[in-house]
Structures are given as structure tokens and as C-alpha cells.
Structure 1
């Protein structure tokens, strides 16, 4: 098939492992002709080029990340017009069989509609961000206000124009059904997060890395990825403070995001000595660091009313690390952890309970090892990129 993949973020295929680069590579490997349309970052080429043999159209856009809410909102609104302009300017053949687009953003609806009208292609929506409700949950947007009504309309239009909608979890599917009763429920597929399963380094290399990092004989609880309001990092700081009586426990936070500087200030203000915070690193380096850790940490803001499934769990699964999750009561991620016995969780904001769960892992090496193996096997069997490809293509052939 000829497939258009519309993305908000799409790193260079040769440089990083990422949810959508992995999927596009699978599409390409299976003989499909893929055109990726994505923003052109400052260090990227702008225009049409080949990346790992795949056509990628990098479009000049406004800044979409690490900017204020107003600028970000405007950038997302004009983004579809920039994509359409680029496709027209380069006279791209628009006869596609399938259009795949993930959320965010929902504003790409206009491009999807335009391409579908041009080619009568089917549309597969990969639902990873239920917007605008998540913005309402976190206080970025007033429910029922003008801005909310605008984006809610776009959300409904995107759902309606899609032939299939891939949801992260059963909780996601139930949420969409409940809040969009007009929608044909047969459109909704279970499409969990995925990643390529990477080879693990030998145990002695983990020991050498711990020594190099000055963390030999330390029990490392790692958090990697976005550091923003959705992650509510204050809960992690409180957990670290509660563990200061354990001299060998260190919390290692590696990432980026709008709250990075605020988190660093909070750690300094509270004189939290058992947290190290570092800038984000490349995927391969990060995965090496995860492998030397003892526990993988996840944190979600307790204000969320949407069942989110954090993608950072994939690195922990792959590295055979048990997960400790501080999560809201609406997500079904905790139940998934329990089902596969790959980690423990506590309600976000309940520091006492979260510490108790951490102590269970801290005191039981065999439990950590078994949970790590369970997560690894689950990822290998259910969350690999080939499995995501099979799910998407099977559902597409049925639609």
C-alpha cells in the first residue's frame, strides 16, 4: 500500500529508537511505500528526503515544544495548513491507500480530511493523547469554554473521519465509548504502546557503569523521560525525602521538559540529597543506564481522569526492571502491572503507601528479578513493534 504517516514528532530514524519510527520501519520492511510528514527541527533538513530508505517530508513550522501555551496552541492550529502547503508545493502524489496519524495533535484533522478527499484512503488513528480533556484535568483549559469547545469539536471530527482507532488500553476504549456515545464502538481497537526489543548488555558491564557513575553499591531507582506537569514530580521528591533514612537508595532522574528547572530548584530548596537530576541523553545511552538501575519509576499526576499508559514502561520492561508506579486512580496501568506481575503501584500523592511498595522491592532481590523477567516476557510477546504492525494491518484489512 501507499501510506501517509502524519506525525507531530518524528526523530531521525537512524539516530533513535522511537514508537513511531519503529512502526514506520516495520511498514517499510513489509513492502509498503511510506511517506512521513513531520515538522523540520532546527537541526534537520527541510523538504523531502530519504531516511533509512523511507521518504520523509520535513516541514518548516512554528515552535511546537517548550513554548508557552498560547504559542503552542497557535502553532498546532496552523500546523495542518503548513503540511498541506508543503504537500502541494512539492506536487506529492496524493493517491494514498491508508493514512495513519497519532495524537497529539488533533488539529491534523484538516490534513487527514483533505488527503482522504483526494484519495479516498482509509484512516487509522493511533490514539495516544486524549485532548482536550487532559488539558482540562491539569487546569490548562476551562471545560466548556471557547477554546475547549473548539478543540473538542476537532476531536470529534477526527474520531468520526477515522475508520479505525487504536487505543492504548481497555480503559482507554471504555473511556472513549462513555464520552463519545455517537461513535461506532466497532472502530475501537486495542493497540498498546510498542517498541523494538533491544539486546541487553552483560551484567559485568552494568557493574562497571555503576562504578564509573559513582553509584557502586547503591540501590538505584530511575525515572527517565518527560519532566512536566503530567508527571507531577513533586510526588517523587516526597518519596525520596521519605527514604533518606536508607543511605544506599539513590533516585536518578534523567530527562527534559517544562518542569525540569522547577524540579531542580525544588530539590535544592528542600535539600534532598538522595536525588540526582540529569539532562536527557540519547536513547542508546539511556538504555544502558536503565540496565544498571534496580527499579524503574513512573509518575502520573493524580488529577488525570483519563486512563493513561506511560510509554516509559517499555524501557523498564526491556531492561528487565520491576516498575514502581505512582499513578492516578483512573488509569488501568496499575491493574495491568498486577496482571503480568511486573511491578507495584500506589495512588499518586500517597507517599506512605508508595514507600511501602518501594521497600518491598528494596528488600527482596528475588521479587525484583521475577518481576523484571515477567515484564520482559510480556513486552517480547505483546508489545513488540511487529505485533503493533500486525494488529494495525489486520484491523485495517478487516475495515
Structure 2
């Protein structure tokens, strides 16, 4: 059995997309499935380069560079990307290969033409791993007006939905988006929870015990810090808790809002907060081992539902969660029903301080939240569960060659 995984990012990149698809590829391979990962690459002269990643075949296909460009140039590059990838694939030895199933990750929304070509060539089904509903969320946040550009991108997104035989959304609340069969066709839409594999405990380049917040209970945020998160509310929380010597705050990652957050922290003369650049994903468990509470933030203007990968990483690390998210987000019910922390839907985050102070006072109850988090991670947010679900939808459930071991590299 062979599956094609099509993805915009893959190691050595460190995005959540790259890490999730790495873990999914490892899981399929460990189950005896031959895995081919197709990924665009703008930094190579050759049309195609085939790499071996822990026994997994990775084909890097020459495609236009789309990052750090103006909106128009980037849009043209992304429209051209799947066709350039297909042209590069046609020139490779893998051109004649047939697959038993195809799965691809969105964002990006532009891979539909490549998926359709592989489906037709292999006469197989395709599974769309849909992690956010773009351009809908961009319009919700005011990043994009509902003008010609929005409607054009919306048609691109609808095309990939029609190409898919099964769509896996990350929360129940997103199922209603696909309720109109006249709009999206009659297809299977299901909840596919986010997932991760926990790397073995590794050295972490961040040592909180050697910083000015050593000895405090640490609230950590690790991940992207951009418009979609609404990070100002977490900075406001740190500001309001400046006088509480028990609490410290650590922000790790990258994003459009990082410089602004640092400038505001300096302006407010906050001594209870630290910022660190992005670290390797395998260092994250070592970071979390030094922390006590994980933080999640989503902009309140979102109308789609999102279970962030960082939430799952907190669960796997047995970290209780303090979250501020958009109203009606499924994450609120998960946190409350599973007893893994506290969640606010107050747009300005005014109630976060009360929740944070309550967590500082919990004592033994905090350990119960840790136990609940570990149980939840194993039950719902594992790569093995995701692979089983995708394989079942593709009709590959009972046809692998059996389990095999893999030697994990350093990425």
C-alpha cells in the first residue's frame, strides 16, 4: 500500500504544518504503508529532488517562491504552484507511480489541481486535512474585504473541497460550513482532531531557572504570534499580574505581533515576562517541563472553529490550559468538560486575571488537571488515531504490510 501526502511545509521547516505532517508520515510508515511526501521547493535548480526521511520518500518539486513578496506576486505564485509541482513531478521517476490514497493539508488552498491529477492517475480517493477555513477567517478578522479578491480565493477553496472525497475539519462547529450540498457537493465531512507525536525528552536551549522569573509558576505560550491570535490580551494579563510575585510569563515563537509585544512590554516595564525566538519542535517538551500552565489565544472575531496545535502539545505535556478564544468555539467545551483548565470568551480578556490567580491557588487540583490532560491527549489527539481515521476514509484500513520500526532523525 502506498499513500501520497501533499503538503506545503515539511522538515527541516518548523511550522505546525510541517511537524504534524512529519508525525503523520511517520505513523503511516510505522504501520507498513509506503509513504511519498510531495512538497514544493523554490530553492533548488533541479525540477525534482528525492530525499529519504527515516525511510519515508520526500519528493521536493520545483515551484515558484511565494514568501516575502507583494500580495499580487505572491498570489500569482501560489496560483501557479500546483501546476509547477505537477510539471516537475512529470519529469521525475515517480511520474508513473500509482497510489492507493492521497491526503493533503490545507492551508494552503491551492493544491487542488495537483490532487485531482493524482486521483485520476491512480483512480483513488483523496482526503483533505482542513485546518482552517480560508478566506473566511481572514474576512472575519478584517484582514480581507469581501471584494473581488475574497471571492476569487473563495472559488479556489471551493475547488479543493470538490476535489476531496472526504474532508476532515478540526472541530464540530465547522461541520455546518459544509451543510449545503449544492455548494460543496455530496461528500463525507468529519471531525479529524489535530494530532502530534511527543518527541523523546530532549535538551532545551531555554533554561528558565537562570532567568529573572526563576522560582515562579510559569505561564507559557509557544507558537505563532500574529493577527489571528489577538496576543495583546495575554500581554495585558501579564501587566495586571505584574505585582503578583508567584507568576511569570514566557512567550516563545515568531509572528507579525512579536516586535509589537516586546515594545509594549518594555514600555510597561514588565519584569515578569520573557520572550524567546522559535525553538526546534523537539525542544518543546523540555520547555514545557519547566512550566506550569499553557496559554492559548484566538482572536474573538473568528467565526470558524479552531483547536490549535499548541493546545494539543500542552495536553501531551500534561500542562493545564488558560485559554481565551472566540465565542462558541468547541475548545471551550473540551476544556470545561475534560477538566483541563479554564477558558474565557470575554473579548477583552478582563476575566483572565481571576482565572490565572485561581490556577495559582489550586494546589492539588492542578495535579488533577495534569492527569486529565495526559488522558485526553492519548485518547483524542494522537497521530495513530489520525492515521487510522484517514486510512479508513481512503479504504486503506486493512491492507498495509504490517508494522515496522523507524529510526527517528534529528530533522
Same fold (TM over 0.5): yes
The residue number in structure 2 matching 1:35 is 36
**6-15 or 361-370, which deviates more:** 6-15
> Which whole-Å deviations, capped at 9, do the CAs of 1:6-27 have from their partners, x for residues lacking one?
1011114999982111111111
Rounded to whole Å, the distance in 1 between the matches of 2:141 and 2:76 is 19
Question: Structure 1 residues 68, 280: CA separation in 2 closer, same or farther (over 3 Å shift)?
Answer: farther
- How far apart in 2 are the matches of 1:286 and 1:214? 20
Structure 2 segments unaligned to the other structure (5+ residues): 398-411
Pick aligned residue for 2:122 from 119, 124, 146: 119
1:7 counterpart residue number: 7
- Report if the CA contact (8 A) 1:80-1:108 is conserved: yes
Checking the alignment, whether the CA contact within 8 Å between 2:61 and 2:89 is kept in structure 1 is no
| Correspondence for 2:302 | 304
* Structure 1 residues 396 and 380: CA distance shift in structure 2, 3 A: same
Is 1:159 matched with 2:161? yes
Q: Give the secondary-structure state (helix, strand or coil) at the position aligned to 1:222.
A: strand
Deviation of 1:53 (Å): 1.1
In structure 1, the residue matched to 2:57 is: 55
2:171 equivalent to 1:173? no
Task: Work out the CA distance in 2 between the residues paired with 1:138 and 1:66.
Answer: 21
Q: Separation in 2 of the partners of 1:282 and 1:364?
A: 32
**Alpha-carbon distance, 1:140 to partner:** 2.4
Report the equivalent of 2:82.
80
CA contact (8 A) 1:222 1:293 kept: yes
Structure 1, gaps ≥5 residues long = none
Q: Is the 8 A contact 2:219 2:292 kept in 1?
A: yes
More helix by share: 1
Give 1:300 deviation, angstroms: 0.5
Q: Which of 132, 136, 143 is matched with 1:133 structurally?
A: 136
Question: 2:256 maps to which residue?
Answer: 258
Partner of residue 97, structure 1: 100
Aligned residue for 2:381? 383
Alignment partner of 1:375: what SS? helix
Structure 2 contact 246–360 (Cα < 8 Å) conserved: no
Larger relative contact order (Cα-Cα within 8 Å, sequence gap ≥ 6): 2
> Retained in 2: the 8 A contact 1:225–1:255?
yes
> What is the deviation of 1:218?
1.0
Q: Counterparts of 2:384 and 2:335 in 1: how far apart (Å)?
A: 22
Range moving further from structure 2, 339-348 or 11-20: 11-20
SS at match of 1:349: coil
Structure 1 counterpart SS, 2:371: helix
Deviations 1:293-325 (A, max 9, x none): 111000111111111111101221111110000
Superposed CA deviations along residues 94-143 of structure 1, whole A, max 9, x for unmatched, are: 42221111101111111112222222221100110211101111222221
SS at match of 2:222: strand
- Does 65-74 or 185-194 show the bigger shift? 65-74
Higher mean C-alpha deviation, range 146-155 or range 258-267: 258-267
Distance 1:282 1:67 in 2: 26
Q: RMSD of aligned C-alpha atoms?
A: 2.8
Cα separation, 1, equivalents of 2:60 and 2:316: 31
Q: Which of these residues, 337, 340, 357, is aligned with residue 355 of structure 2? A: 357
Provide Cα deviations, 1:67-93, integer angstroms capped at 9, x if missing partner: 554444333222112211210121422
Distance 1:249 1:337 in 2: 22
- TM-score w.r.t. the length of structure 1 is 0.90
Native 8 Å contact 1:14 1:51 kept in 2: no
Change (3 A) 1:55 1:190: same
Pick which of 123-132 and 155-164 moved more.
155-164
Distance in 2, Cα, partners of 1:280 & 1:43: 25
Q: Which residue number in structure 1 is paired with residue 193 of structure 2?
A: 192
Match of 2:404 in 1: none
| Partner Cα distance (1:44, 1:287) in 2 | 37
TM-score of the superposition, structure 2-length normalised? Answer: 0.88
Q: In 2 relative to 1, CA 222–313 (structure 1 residues): closer, same or farther, beyond 3 Å?
A: same
Bigger mean CA deviation after superposition, 343-352 or 378-387: 343-352
Q: What number of residue pairs does the alignment pair up?
A: 393
The CA distance in 1 between the partners of 2:201 and 2:37, in whole Å, is 30
Change (3 A) 1:66 1:370: farther
